[in-house]
Structure 1
Amino acid sequence: MSLEVIGMAIVIIAIMLVIGKWIRLKVPLFQSLFLPSSLIGGFLALLIGPEVIGRFGGDFLSDGGLFTASIVDIWGELPGLLINVVFASLFIGFVLPKPKEIWQTGGPQIALGYTMSWAHYVIGLLLAITILTPLFGLNPAAGALIEISFVGGHGTAAGLSGTFEDIGFEEGYDLAIGLATIGMLSGVIIGMVLVNWAARRGKTTTLDHPKDISVDQKSGVIEEQNREASGVQTTSPVSIEPFALHVGFIAVAIFIGYLILEAFVWLEEVTYGQTFNIYLFEYVPLFPMAMIGGILLQVFLAKFDKRKLVDRKTISRIQGLALDLLIISAIASLSLTVIGDHIVPFILLALAGIISNIVFFLWLGPKMIPTYWFERGIGDFGQGMGVAATGIMLMRIVDPENKTPALDAFGYKQILFEPMVGGGLVTAAAIPFIIQFGSVPVLIAALILMIAFWCLGVFHTGKMKPSDKKPD
């Protein structure tokens, strides 16, 4: 495949992103639902691609719809690459607070988030053991799809595409991307319903009525007088463009992660792998190791970078770019045929993920979070539906002036949450563990951990002495 085709595939997907933004500005319903432009653009590309128009456009459009088949193939490969950028960027430039501060502020969110994630494994594995595998013949790894898609989102699903192929569960990728799309849509729509409900029922102390939502938030365009710098120049462009330097830092983190993963694969091969015929790391994708590479790079920079060359906002912009391109390319290359062939399992998994998130948020949120449970817990609900950005958006809608510790607590939660679940090491290792040891042992382990974090949240974090800011 030529570089020209690869370049054109990226150009077209970027154009779809701009068109998605334009559509959102022109359709008030999409603004009210806070649909991301990447989601809208992805659906548009899917509609005019091989899966929809390509099927009904006759011989002229049957190959790739309005796109060539090679362009769609490139879109299918992009998410697996871009997820490494997203995860490598998580902690670069992030100033780590003291452990006591992390726990005091983010402990309730950590307990709730882990309880929801382990519950996804429990529910998914129970479905796989009782229905999905015996009745529909799905691979036992289908038991991990709820956590992969609803907590991990499009990026994690895309990052595990190679793992799905390695275990002979190729359809798992399309099911995971489809579930992640359902999760994101449901997270935004149901999240807004919950915000309206909370405002009317007095469950939130910071939002009197949904009409308080600003025009900026609905349109997604920041008025000129309210705009702030998205980053600072830490180097002179004469020596190196600051944006290019930060891309280089992310590349270093990814390469460190690659070396770590290769070392583990080699170590496994020469130790217990040959002895017990158990291989786990050969199924583990690169992105969780890229995250570890980012953490190690940040530790190094914090100690030796006296000139403060890393700007966190610039890293976040690069991460956001990668995530937008990832989402739109993942949806654009989605196989509706695979989902159609497994429509009943798909619906069961989607309903299980949605219902469990709603129930756990409304039931356990007040028990695990001592103050401002709705303002803080809505972020965990949003993240549990597929992406942290949804959670942050919902928190900003509920607490637009940042009067509560919701955003701080959510950020602290990620320090102990992201490295493990929602795309972390546990998410990456879950499928290899299911394949190597079976669904039942993994189910038992997940159930024990779910109960442990459940008890931690209800009996400890829910009774912690609050040190929160109070609304004015």
Structure 2
Amino acid sequence: MSADQIGFSLLMLAVLLYAGKWVRMNWRPAQQLFLPASILAGGIGLILGPGVLGALMRLVGGEDAPMAQGAIPESMLDIWSDLPGLLINVVFATLLLGVPLPKWKRVWSLAGPQLAFGVTLGAGQYVIGILIAALILAPFFGLPLMAGALIEIGFEGGHGTAAGLQSTFADLGFEDGADLAVGMATVGVISGIVFGIILINWGVRRGKSAVLDKSVDSIPHHQRRGLVAEDERPMSAGGMTVRSESIEPLTLHFGFIAMAILLGIGILEGMTWIESVTWGAGEDGIELLGAVPLFPLAMIGGLIVQQLLTRFDKHDLLDRDLMVRIQGFALDLLIGAAIASLSLTVIADNFVPFLLLGVAGIAWNVGMFLWLAPKVIPKYWFERGIGDIGQSMGVTATGLILMKIADPDNKTPAYEAFGYKQMVFEPFFGGGLITGLALPIIYNFGPWPLFGVMLALVVVGIGSGLFYFGRLKQEP
């Protein structure tokens, strides 16, 4: 694999992303579903690849037909399939960079109800998934019990987490799991937006919304196309904290990200060494931490870098807005590459298990929103809960999209509470430590220890929400 091949593959991926944006601007169904251009780009790449175009050409003209392997060469797909495992470290390293830690009392009172709700959603995805895997998928379809983690990896974690766990799936003998997880993430994003918009319209009609009196059909056309109105466009996507003749701000922020990732690597190496001389030593040792991916530890590295900057940087060199732009850039490339290199054969071969897990995950999240959110979140439950339901099915960006639709003028504390909740939630679920440890735990100890812990978290989440957080006096 040469540097020229890698460079050309990146150029073609960028062209696909532009094509995805063009589709978003001009195809009405994509506008109605608020589909990100990166998902559309990945879909275009998937159609042009061996799984769709190639299969069609082979069906018509045989194995020797023109473009029998699709319009995208296998070497390019190989490069694209490796990109997510690298880019996910950038995405997670930026999560807490530039985010000052708020006072714990404020976090507890405002985000506590949503944390109880979010933990219930996330832990419940493991409970439901493990039950389906143990009772149906393993005995009747021969899938590994690790399939029980696919709902949380795909829904809470999203494309980045699913693709980032590719090497972990392979190391544990479940190579098809990576493609199933990416497919599950696609189902999660689309269903999160679709069901989120349905729920918003339902909430408006039933008087559940505190701020909306019109359906989402009233959203401006330019917003549906994913455009910023000309008179609303900001002058800059981030702050210039340094003068460019000394160093470009983008370069400086990439350095912060690099330090966070390197700290994550150091933490992982240290953890692996400790394991190798303790419980992992010898032929009968148990390897648990060796299968943990880097990206949740890169997030911890980002937290360390942020705390060091808060303590010692007197010039406020790190700009959060610019860090978010870098994160978005990496995430767009990651999602496009992950979907375009997805193996449709794997999903087709496991279609019934895939369908069972997807339907169960959707039912759990929607059911908890309708039943639990009003009881747990004492004020503005609809606007705040819709963000959690979007995030629990289609990652953080989906939650933000739904909150923007449900509370367009930011009249409720939904954004603030959601942000505080994510600071506590993300280090563990949705690509955090629990997500990283779930597969090796199931592989080494079976599904029931993890099932028991997650079931206990569901009970704690529901109990604390109903009997404590739901009765708190809500901060304004």
Q: Deviations over 1:316-366 (max 9, x none)?
A: 000001111111111000000000111110000000111111001111110
Check if 1:113 corresponds to 2:121.
no
Letter in 2 for 1:33: L
Distance 1:267 1:61, change over 3 A: farther
Q: Deviations over 1:122-169 (max 9, x none)?
A: 001101110111111111111111111110010110111111001100
Aligned 8 A contact 1:253 1:294 in 2? yes
Check if 1:92 corresponds to 2:97.
yes
Q: Provide the TM-score with structure 2 as the length reference.
A: 0.97
Check if 1:282 corresponds to 2:290.
yes
Q: Provide the TM-score with structure 1 as the length reference.
A: 0.97
For residues 394 and 176 of structure 2, the distance between their equivalents in structure 1, rounded to whole angstroms, comes to 19
Aligned 8 A contact 1:151 1:422 in 2? yes
Check if 1:193 corresponds to 2:198.
yes
Give matches, 1:54-453, under 5 Å.
54-58=54-58, 59=64, 61-62=66-67, 64-210=69-215, 211-228=217-234, 229-274=236-281, 277-453=285-461
Counterpart in the other structure of 1:34: 34
Counterpart in the other structure of 2:12: 12
Query: Unaligned 5+ residue runs, structure 2?
Result: 59-63
For residues 7 and 306 of structure 2, the distance between their equivalents in structure 1, rounded to whole angstroms, comes to 32
Q: CA deviation at 1:214?
A: 2.6
Considering only aligned residues, what root-mean-square deviation do their CA atoms show, in Å? 1.1
In the alignment of these two chains, the number of paired residues is 468
Counterpart in the other structure of 2:61: none
> Secondary structure of the equivalent of 2:245?
coil
Structure 1 window deviating more from structure 2 (317-326 vs 215-224): it is: 215-224
Structure 1 window deviating more from structure 2 (251-260 vs 267-276): it is: 267-276
Letter in 1 for 2:52: V
Q: CA deviation at 1:61?
A: 4.7
> Secondary structure of the equivalent of 1:66?
coil
For residues 212 and 405 of structure 1, the distance between their equivalents in structure 2, rounded to whole angstroms, comes to 23
Query: Unaligned 5+ residue runs, structure 1?
Result: none
Aligned 8 A contact 1:272 1:278 in 2? yes
For residues 146 and 377 of structure 1, the distance between their equivalents in structure 2, rounded to whole angstroms, comes to 20
Q: CA deviation at 1:213?
A: 1.9
Aligned 8 A contact 2:212 2:407 in 1? yes
Q: CA deviation at 1:32?
A: 1.4
For residues 167 and 311 of structure 1, the distance between their equivalents in structure 2, rounded to whole angstroms, comes to 39
For residues 450 and 24 of structure 2, the distance between their equivalents in structure 1, rounded to whole angstroms, comes to 42
Q: Deviations over 1:238-274 (max 9, x none)?
A: 0111011111110110011001001100110011211
For residues 386 and 193 of structure 1, the distance between their equivalents in structure 2, rounded to whole angstroms, comes to 15
Aligned 8 A contact 1:73 1:333 in 2? yes
Aligned 8 A contact 2:26 2:225 in 1? no
For residues 153 and 452 of structure 1, the distance between their equivalents in structure 2, rounded to whole angstroms, comes to 25
Letter in 2 for 1:30: A
Percent identical among aligned pairs is 53
For residues 50 and 252 of structure 2, the distance between their equivalents in structure 1, rounded to whole angstroms, comes to 38
Distance 1:130 1:8, change over 3 A: same
Letter in 2 for 1:249: F
For residues 415 and 442 of structure 2, the distance between their equivalents in structure 1, rounded to whole angstroms, comes to 35
For residues 314 and 243 of structure 1, the distance between their equivalents in structure 2, rounded to whole angstroms, comes to 8
Distance 1:417 1:60, change over 3 A: same
